[in-house]
Amino acid sequence: MGLIAVAFKSREDHRKQIELEEARKSGLAPAEVDEDGKEINPHIPQYMSSAPWYLNAEKPSLKHQRKWKSDPNYTKAWYDRGAKIFRADEYRKGACENCGAMTHNAKSCMERPRKKGAKWTSMHIAPDEKIEIFELDYDGKRDRWNGFDAATYARVIERYEARDEARRKYLKEQQLKRLEEKNSKQNGEGEVSDDDEYEDALKVDEAKVDESKQMDFAKVEKRVRTTGGGSTGTVRNLRIREDTAKYLLNLDVNSAYYDPKTRSMREDPLPDADPNEKFYAGDNKYRVSGQALDFKQLNIHAWEAFEKGQDVHMQAAPSQAELLFKNYKVIKEKLKSKMKDAIMEKYGNAATVEELPKELLFGQTEKEVEYDRAGRVIKGMETSLPKSKYEEDVYINNHTSVWGSWWKDHQWGYKCCKQTIQNSYCTGAAGIEASESAANLMKANIDRKAASEETSSPTEEKRLATWGADIPEDLELDQKKLGDALKKEDERRKEEKDERKRKYNVTWNDEVTPEEMEAYRMKKVHHDDPMKDFVR
């Protein structure tokens, strides 16, 4: 080991130092020893073995490479999961409103929401959780196995060992039972030949082999292929290099999306191509067809069976899950056939009672029917009147026609008596004459009233302005009224300029006299007037 702060070495001393290092690396010389008496690996590079100058190292050592400053707060302990420290008898202020624990609030409470929380009932107070705070270093925060209890996995091992032991015991009992049955039969018939004894022993050996195959999951057969040149290699599931890659089937950027990281293309790159000539139709096609669909259904059955209480796991025991799924399908088919037979036995089967006529089976008949362009029947079949849900030819209350057979003045009625009141009694021709005379009398009264209104004295109409922008030529104005209208217009304009004089409750009058209209025209500012800016 070399040091930074060393005395000057001659060329000969430097050569001897290099030879010594080479001898240590080759194992001809003993390794260098540090302060604690431990050997130092001679193959450590010099930039790692040389201590910095500020450490003032006098002897060879690797302490500068070790962690000399340890964190006293670092601990390998972990949280005590599920530990409780205190349980109160009544609700405390500031505790969880749902369960009554002081270590969390109602928003982060993990208990079932109660109908009435512990704050209001002060009953069934949950115990306080044990809260611990650890200061971990960089590695401790990123240790994914920190706090893992290996004893929890022992339960999984025990469960599977118990299952295997039960399977072995069951197989052994079955073998012994078969042998006893065979021996009892042979004792009744006579002596057993040597060939029979050999067959029994062979069957026992085969059962043992089957049992070992079920228990041994580690043995995997390795297939080997031999090429013409004599080289061997394992069979690999690789695509043939002569095949076109899926992302080269369609180079359009708007076609199926290809993910280069997972080498997946879910959609069909060539949806319009002939399906019989396609080499690749997208990953989604393989996901919903063939063995992929069967495997998906098998997984779903395993999940549903586990939720309903059966001890089945698709990854841990795939053979068991597949056997249960097969039994489930057989039982389901039996139930369907049983239900079908029960329904047919109760309600019968109309399809097997008698044969249908040929006219219904083939949809044809010997009758010839001829139609015109409008769809009306000309020859071959009598026209049938359309039927409705209402009763036909049924007349009530002495009527000879039905309700709705007559229409007048936006009202329905009876045609026989021309009445517009439904379910009324028919009055016949006398009712028609009476209604006509009443209508004539009403018309005469209306005409007489209109004539009397026309002959009455005409009332004095109020003079109102009716012109627009153009002033009529025959306009006659009252000068006094015009002067009053000009004064009112001046006052109105002053109110518009001074907001303090503006009234809150404004009443509008739509009736404008000709003098008021003329005053508005005279005071109005014309924008096309060149002298409008000089008007005050």
In this prediction, residue 4 carries a pLDDT of 44
In residues, how long is the chain? 536
Cβ atoms 408, 418 nearer than 8 A: yes
Is 75 inside a domain boundary?
Answer: no
Which two three-digit tokens encode residue 255? 């076609």
| DSSP collapsed to 3 states, 340-373 | HHHHHHHHCCHHHCCCCCHHHHHCCCCCCCEECC
Task: Give CA–CA dist 319/214, Å, rounded.
Answer: 10
Structural domain including 312 reads: 291-347
Which two three-digit tokens encode residue 232? 């061997």
In this prediction, residue 205 carries a pLDDT of 53
CA dihedral 523, 524, 530, 535 (to 10 degrees): 40
Query: What total of structural domains would you count in the chain?
Result: 4
In this prediction, residue 104 carries a pLDDT of 93
Is 365 inside a domain boundary?
Answer: no
Q: Which amino acid is at 388?
A: S
In this prediction, residue 197 carries a pLDDT of 56
Task: Give CA–CA dist 270/247, Å, rounded.
Answer: 11
Q: How far is CA 19 from the centre of its chain?
A: 75
Domain identity same for 430 and 489: no
Is 398 inside a domain boundary?
Answer: yes
Task: Give CA–CA dist 145/1, Å, rounded.
Answer: 39
Task: Give CA–CA dist 237/254, Å, rounded.
Answer: 31
- SS3 label, residue 32: coil
Per-residue pLDDT of the chain (536 residues), as tens digits, is 444 445 678 889 989 989 998 988 888 888 888 888 888 898 888 888 888 888 888 778 888 888 766 666 666 677 888 889 999 999 999 999 999 999 999 999 999 999 999 999 999 999 999 998 877 778 878 888 888 888 888 999 999 999 999 999 999 999 999 988 888 887 766 555 555 555 555 555 555 545 554 444 444 444 444 444 444 444 445 556 677 788 888 888 888 888 888 888 888 888 888 888 887 888 888 888 888 888 889 999 999 999 888 888 988 899 999 999 999 999 999 999 999 999 988 887 777 766 766 666 666 666 778 888 888 878 876 655 556 666 777 888 888 888 888 888 888 888 888 888 888 888 888 888 888 888 888 888 888 888 887 765 555 555 666 655 566 677 778 888 888 888 888 888 887 777 666 666 667 677 788 888 888 888 877 666 676 666 55
In this prediction, residue 206 carries a pLDDT of 54
Which two three-digit tokens encode residue 209? 């082999």
On the 0-12 / 13-18 / 19+ scale of CB atoms within 10 A, 416 is buried
Question: How many C-beta atoms surround the C-beta of residue 61 within 10 A?
Answer: 21
Q: Which amino acid is at 72?
A: P
Is 200 inside a domain boundary?
Answer: no
Is 51 inside a domain boundary?
Answer: yes
- SS3 label, residue 408: strand
Which two three-digit tokens encode residue 253? 């950027």
In this prediction, residue 7 carries a pLDDT of 62
Which two three-digit tokens encode residue 423? 């379910």
From residue 393, alpha-carbon distances to 83, 401, 418, 424 in Å are 90, 8, 19, 18
Is 411 inside a domain boundary?
Answer: yes
**Tokens 């007489």 -> residue:** 448
Q: Which of 145, 131, 153 is nearest to 76 (CA)?
A: 145
- SS3 label, residue 224: strand
Task: Give CA–CA dist 461/26, Å, rounded.
Answer: 137
Domain identity same for 489 and 529: yes
What is the dihedral sign for C-alpha 101, 103, 106, 108?
Answer: negative
Q: Which amino acid is at 451?
A: A
| pTM for the predicted model, two decimal places | 0.25
Domain identity same for 16 and 61: yes
Span between the terminal Cα atoms of the chain, in Å: 112
Task: Give CA–CA dist 355/335, Å, rounded.
Answer: 30
Residues 6+ apart with CB under 8 A from 325: 297, 298, 301, 302
Domain identity same for 396 and 436: yes
* Residue 259 DSSP code: B
Farthest-apart Cα atoms in the chain, separation: 157
Ramachandran assignment for 71, one of left (phi > 0), alpha (psi -120 to 50 degrees), beta (any other): beta
Q: Which amino acid is at 103?
A: T
Is 23 inside a domain boundary?
Answer: yes
Q: Which of 448, 466, 494 finishes a domain? A: 448
In this prediction, residue 464 carries a pLDDT of 62
Is 118 inside a domain boundary?
Answer: no
Cβ atoms 258, 245 nearer than 8 A: no
Q: 264 φ, ψ to 5°?
A: -120, 145
Task: Give CA–CA dist 125/87, Å, rounded.
Answer: 7
